[in-house]
Amino acid sequence: GENVEQHPSTLSVQEGDSAVIKCTYSDSASNYFPWYKQELGKGPQLIIDIRSNVGEKKDQRIAVTLNKTAKHFSLHITETQPEDSAVYFCAASRGAGGTSYGKLTFGQGTILTVHP
Amino acid sequence: KAGVTQTPRYLIKTRGQQVTLSCSPISGHRSVSWYQQTPGQGLQFLFEYFSETQRNKGNFPGRFSGRQFSNSRSEMNVSTLELGDSALYLCASSLMSGNQETQYFGPGTRLLVL
């Protein structure tokens, strides 16, 4: 089955710096890659996603890049703020059908701490 | 639009008991997926329901089951609870169970098994 590896497991940055989190996936049929932010006591919140026909997507301070050949994708957060501190998860899924319906395979998470 | 709601938010049970968790998806969403989140195993897929049918199932024992009602609300049940079932149980809804559908998560139900 699909396996998603996420690095680093913890990341500490100063306010205003950039943060980069990387994920690799094993299933070449995966074609959808969302990123979630989870704050203490809350469920994961979608922050950005990318589909396999796109190499890069940006939304204000957040961007995601996808390299299908190398089977890895990355989250970039610029001008970090203390409120960006949370656990970030990458995930991957393949198209619908068979064992694919509704299934996201998650990375192990990155604890991001932004120091004021 | 209201988000995904889960009840109860917290539960304490003892080994051997059973538990039922409830999930109400975003209005209009027909697909509900369930996940178990633990510090050791992370987020793991349990199963997915669409139009009252289980379409997909993860690698969990048969003690874990679920169902979906005609209004798309879903329940999951864990029978004969074990200590290792202590976890945050999350449900996520999406419009359809189709290709590359965005999933929106609820706040979760935290289950503690003593």
pLDDT tens, position by position, for chain B (114 residues)? 789 999 999 999 999 999 999 999 999 999 999 999 999 999 999 999 999 999 999 999 999 999 999 999 999 999 999 999 999 999 999 876 455 678 999 999 999 999
- Shortest CA distance to B84 belongs to which of B36, B43, B45? B36
What pLDDT does A86 receive? 98
Q: Are strands A105-106 and A86-94 parallel, antiparallel or unpaired?
A: antiparallel
Q: How far apart are CA A38 and CA A45, in angstroms?
A: 6
Interface of A with B in 47-66 (CB under 8 A): 49, 51
Q: Which residues on A lie below 8 Å from B38 (Cβ)?
A: none
What pLDDT does B98 receive? 52
Q: Are strands A110-115 and A10-14 parallel, antiparallel or unpaired?
A: parallel
Q: Which residues on A lie below 8 Å from B58 (Cβ)?
A: 103
| B8 min Cα distance to partner chain A (Å) | 14
What pLDDT does B23 receive? 98
Per-residue pLDDT of chain A (116 residues; tens, 9 = 90+): 789 999 999 999 999 999 999 999 999 989 899 999 999 999 999 999 998 888 999 999 999 999 999 999 999 999 999 999 999 999 999 866 666 778 999 999 999 999 99
What pLDDT does B100 receive? 64
What pLDDT does B99 receive? 56
What pLDDT does B24 receive? 98
Q: How far apart are CA A23 and CA A107, in angstroms?
A: 7
Distances (CA, A) of B110 to A12, A40, A101, B19: 28, 12, 25, 12
Phi then psi for residue A82, to 5 deg, are: -55, -35
For B33, the closest of A95, A102, A108 (CB atoms) is: A102
How many whole angstroms from its chain centre is CA A7?
10
* Cβ separation B48–A101 shorter than 8 A: yes
Distances (CA, A) of B63 to A46, B75, B79: 30, 14, 5
Q: Which amino acid is at B18?
A: Q
Token look-up 């994708």 returns A73
* Cβ separation A32–B56 shorter than 8 A: no
